[in-house]
Amino acid sequence: MDYQQNTYSMTSYGAQGGAGGGGFMNTGSQNSPGSGAKQQYGKDTLRPVTIKQILDAQQPHPDAEFKVDGSEITQVTFVGQIRNISTQTTNVTYKLDDGTGTVEVKQWIDSDATSAMDTTDSSKPKLAENAYARVFGRLKAFNNKRHVGAHVIKPINDYNEIQCHLLEATVVHLHFTRGPPQSLNKEGAANGAYGRQDGGAAGGDYGGGPLPNTLSGAARKVYNLLKTAPQTNEGLQAQVIAVQLNMPTADVVKAGDDLVGQGLIYTTVDEHTWAVLDV
C-alpha cells in the first residue's frame, strides 16, 4: 500500500493471475475497442472505491480523467455482487451491486484468449449471478451513462475480502479528505480531532478523539449505540437501532447516512446495516 500526496497505488491484489495472464497491468491488448489514442499509463494509479464513489465521480470535461475526493482516478478496483450477466458477441456485461449502488461492468471478449482458456482453465471458478466478484478496470462514460471497462473480473473465494475492501476504500477516502494519519495526530493534539476545539467528550469519541461538531443529536445516539451495543461483525440494522433507541426508522436512516458520509461508520450486508469504522 502506497499513499502519496495526490495518488494511491496498490499492487497486492493478485490480479496478475487474471484473464489473459496479464491482469490489469497488461495495458496493451486489453483496451476496449474505440478506446482512443495511447494512454499515459505511466501515470496510472489503482484506487479501491465503492460503486457510489464511481457514480458520484466528477469529470471536468469529456476527455478528462474522473476525480474522486478531488484526486484523479485511472484504474479502480471494487467488489460487488453480480445481479445480471448479459453475453454479446463482442463483450460480456455484468451488473454489480455493492450495497452503495449498482454499475455495469463490460469485459471485451478476445476470441483467441477465450479459446485458450477453454482448454487450459476449465477448472477455475466461474462468474455467476448472485456470486461476488472483484473488478479491476477504468471508469468510462458513454451517452451520459457510466460503466467500468474491466481488465480483470474474478470471483471472490474468501468473503473476508468483501469487508476488507470496504474498509480499505474508507481508509483511502479519509486519506484524501482529511489527510494522512500523522497530520491528523498533530492537528488533534493542538485543536482536537477534525476541527473540534472545545475538548469535550459529549456525544462520544471515535478514533481517540471527539465526534465532529456538525453531527446531529440523532447521529450521535446512533454512533454511540453502534460503538457499545453487542453485535456481530455485520453491525446493526437500522430497524434494530430504531427499536433500541426508540427513534423513527427514517431518522435512524438519515443519521446513518450522515455518519457514513463523515467516514465514521460503513455499510456491511446492505445499505441500512452499519458497523463502526475504527481508525
Whether the per-residue pLDDT at 114 is higher than 80: the answer is no
The domain over range 2-162 is classified in CATH as 2.40.50.140: yes
Q: What does pTM read for this prediction?
A: 0.53
pLDDT digits (tens, 9 = 90+) for 165-190: 999 999 888 888 887 766 555 554 44
What integer is the mean pLDDT of 212-224? 88
State yes or no: pLDDT of 125 exceeds 70: no
Cα separation, 201 vs 279, in Å, equals: 17
Instruction: Give yes or no for residue 111 having a pLDDT over 80.
Output: no
State the pLDDT at residue 102. Answer: 94
CATH code: domain 196-276 is 1.10.10.10
Q: What are the extents of the domains in the chain?
A: 2-162, 196-276
Q: What is the mean pLDDT of the chain?
A: 75
% the chain with pLDDT above 70: 68
pLDDT at 264 over 90: no
Residue 148 CA to residue 30 CA, distance in Å, equals 13
pLDDT at 11 over 80: no
From the number of C-beta atoms within 10 Å of its C-beta (0-12, 13-18, 19+), residue 204 rates as middle
Yes or no: say if 79 and 50 are a contact pair by the CB < 8 Å rule. no
Backbone torsions φ then ψ of 252, nearest 5 degrees: -65, -45
What the block records as the C-alpha cell of 212 is 465532529
Q: pLDDT at residue 52 above 60?
A: yes
Between 225 and 181, the more confident residue is 225
- What span, in angstroms and rounded, lies between the C-alpha atoms of 259 and 264? 5
pLDDT at 201: 36
What is residue 18's predicted lDDT score, i.e. its pLDDT? Answer: 37
In this prediction, residues 186-214 reach a mean pLDDT of 49
Say how far residue 137 (Cα) sits from the centre of its chain.
13
Check pLDDT > 60 for residue 20: no
Quick one: pLDDT at residue 228? 87
Cβ atoms of residues 212 and 196 within 8 Å: yes
pLDDT, residue 275, reads 87
